[in-house]
Structure 1
Amino acid sequence: MFLMIKIAVSAVLIGIVTEIARKSPEAGGIIAALPLVSLLSLFWLSIQGESPKHLSQFAAGVLWGFPATAFLLFIVVISLKASFPMVLSFIFGVCGWGGFLLLQKAVIRTIFG
């Protein structure tokens, strides 16, 4: 039952954001850029009794994933402006995201041993 509540609340929030984006793409984009998924996930994990250490590790993982996500969005914006189809733009973005994460991991491993 709790899973269904999480899904319903999350779906409603996504629906609200997309409706705002239909009326105002810029406002919708700014709202979508809010860390809604991260905060919702932290909230649900907290409600389910996860330890502060676990929550901190999750938040750190989100932080490490942020630069790659920004790169993904950059690629999607550039691809769409270049008139690539949305599906292809998403594929380029996801590939760039994965490549960025691998590069980031290699750089961190090189710097910090």
Structure 2
Amino acid sequence: MSYYLVKIATTTLLIVAISEISRRSTLVGAILASVPLVSVLAILWIYIDTKDVERISTLASSVFWLVLPSLALFFVLPRMLKHGLNFYLSLGLSGAITVVCYFLMVSVLSHYGVKL
């Protein structure tokens, strides 16, 4: 149980730290947020838990392919905000568009025989 608390605390502290740093410097916050910390932490926790390098390899490959559709959020959100749309509406629509892009990417990859 304490191991899970360490995992939760470590992950939470990183997210809160990035959020606080972003308030002071959007550039530094963006650099830290763009580093795939969540993916690296997931890979680390899986390795510690299972030592299964094949699972880690599969996860890393899947993350690679799924980073591409996730970029839709970062493309659409600022454009909606610049056009004066409400923040929460912009975030929700950007998220919905990103979900659609994920489904499209998985469908395209499946068509070409790439299994995630």
TM-score where L is the length of structure 1: 0.89
Correspondence for 1:101: 102
Correspondence for 2:82: 81
Correspondence for 1:63: 64
The question of 1:92 aligning with 2:88 is answered: no
Q: Name the CA shift for 1:112/1:55 in 2 (closer, same or farther; >3 Å).
A: closer
Q: How does 1:1-113 map to 2 (within 5 A)?
A: 1-112=2-113
Q: Unmatched 5+ residue regions in structure 1?
A: none
TM-score where L is the length of structure 2: 0.87
Query: After superposition, what is the alpha-carbon deviation per residue over 1:24-70, rounded to whole angstroms, capped at 9, x for unaligned?
Result: 11220121010000001101111112410001111112112101111
2:91 is matched by which residue type in structure 1?
Answer: F
2:39 is matched by which residue type in structure 1?
Answer: S
CA RMSD of aligned residues (A): 1.6
* Structure 1 residue 75: Cα displacement: 1.1
1:42 is matched by which residue type in structure 2?
Answer: I
Moved over 6 A (4+): none
Distance in structure 2 (CA, Å) of the matches to 1:61 and 1:111: 14
* Structure 1 residue 106: Cα displacement: 2.9
Distance in structure 2 (CA, Å) of the matches to 1:71 and 1:96: 7
SS in 1 for 2:50: coil
- Is the CA contact 2:22–2:28 (under 8 Å) kept in the aligned structure 1? yes
Q: Compare relative contact order (CA 8 Å, sep 6+) and give the higher one, 1 or 2.
A: 2
Distance in structure 1 (CA, Å) of the matches to 2:46 and 2:95: 26
SS in 2 for 1:83: coil
* Structure 1 residue 112: Cα displacement: 4.3
Q: Unmatched 5+ residue regions in structure 2?
A: none
